Amino acid sequence: MALLVFLAFMGIIINQYVPAWMLDNERSHMNESLDQFGELKGKVDSMISQQRVTGDSSINMYAPMTMGASGVPIFATPTVGLLTYSPQGMAASGINVRFNYTAAGSGGSFIVPVNVDGGGKVELYVPNRYYVQQWVAYENGAIILKQEDGQSIRAYPNLDLTKENNTLNIAFTQVDLIGSLQSLTGADTVGFSLDLIYIDAQKYNIGVNGNTLSMRFNTTCGEAWYKYFDQKCRSVGLVPGTDYVLTTPTDVAGTYELTTFTLTLKNCNELSYNRAYVSMTMLTS
């Protein structure tokens, strides 16, 4: 009889108590992960702002990352996550920016084409067993939350659009991640050492000779980016087809979940283009 009572008690723990506890652990961990990615973005933005104001880029910052959720002693193991740092040049994340600007020379003004590649991302994937599995990423200065039934941008990139007299002024800070590919699995807390290596801040007159700005993205979060750019353009009064063209994300052949799309802004006038080179080193010990 005592054995039956014990087995019934254990059954209640395993079938009801443990799943509820693990669900809470995994949900809490994903909320913590969003906070930590927000802290990472905030520190990168802070380093960029400091450099723009003081010219000093020597400051180094630290951003912790908890990869997985804790388990239930004896009954359930921790939920393990995968943390990946993919610098620019990797297929997982990329941005290409193209435009022409007018420069002055001794013989008069002339047109200079610009064609810049960059990108990179930090991503945490957690295959939760009780809560929904999720991906959290820092890409192009934004924080993106992704799960199997959808994705959204939770913190916006540094992009400002202003429409004046039927022309468009643009301010954009491109965050390029440099360094080496790194990945780590586990449930422990690790961290990134953050260094702003250099920032190239320029202003361009792109209001003649085509007056367009084209940005092509390779990303596994195409749905979130597409919704963000479409809403951003519409919010400042831009008309689809007339003021901007946004292509639907399409799959990149030979890759897994990688998509590509292009945003073309028309009737552009002035462009404030900041390109920040940020190194992130994963500290594993």
In this predicted model, what pLDDT tens digit does every residue of 265-274 receive, in sequence order? 999 999 999 9
For residue 151, is pLDDT > 70? yes
User: So what's the pLDDT on residue 35?
Assistant: 97
For residue 113, is pLDDT > 60? yes
Q: What is the pLDDT of residues 168-201, one digit of tens each?
A: 999 999 999 999 999 999 999 999 999 999 999 9
Say which residue, 74 or 213, is predicted with more confidence. Answer: 213
For residue 13, is pLDDT > 70? no
For residue 261, is pLDDT > 80? yes
Contacts of 277 (CB under 8 A, 6+ apart): 176, 178, 196, 197, 198, 199
Range 201-212 average pLDDT: 84
Q: What is the pLDDT of residues 119-134, one digit of tens each?
A: 999 999 999 999 999 9
Where does the pLDDT of residue 221 fall: very low under 50, low under 70, confident under 90, or very high at 90 and above?
A: very high
User: How many Cβ atoms from other residues are within 10 Å of residue 219's Cβ?
Assistant: 26
Q: What is the pLDDT of residues 70-97, one digit of tens each?
A: 887 777 899 999 999 999 998 889 999 9
User: So what's the pLDDT on residue 220?
Assistant: 95
Q: State the first-to-last Cα distance of the chain, in angstroms, to the nearest integer.
A: 51
Tokens of 204: 């361009």
Task: Quote the CA–CA distance of 83 and 282 in Å, as a whole number.
Answer: 9
Task: Quote the CA–CA distance of 11 and 5 in Å, as a whole number.
Answer: 10
Contacts of 203 (CB under 8 A, 6+ apart): 270, 271, 272, 273
Report the SS3 class of residue 47: helix
Query: For residue 227, which phi and psi values (nearest 5 degrees)?
Result: -65, -40
Range 18-26 average pLDDT: 87
Tokens of 217: 């993205």
Residue % of the chain over a pLDDT of 70: 93
Tell me if 139 sits within 8 A of 121, measured CB to CB.
yes
Please give the helix or strand (H or E) that residue 147 lies within, else none.
strand 142-147
Task: Quote the CA–CA distance of 153 and 167 in Å, as a whole number.
Answer: 27
User: So what's the pLDDT on residue 224?
Assistant: 97
Range 279-284 average pLDDT: 92
Range 127-148 average pLDDT: 96
User: So what's the pLDDT on residue 165?
Assistant: 86
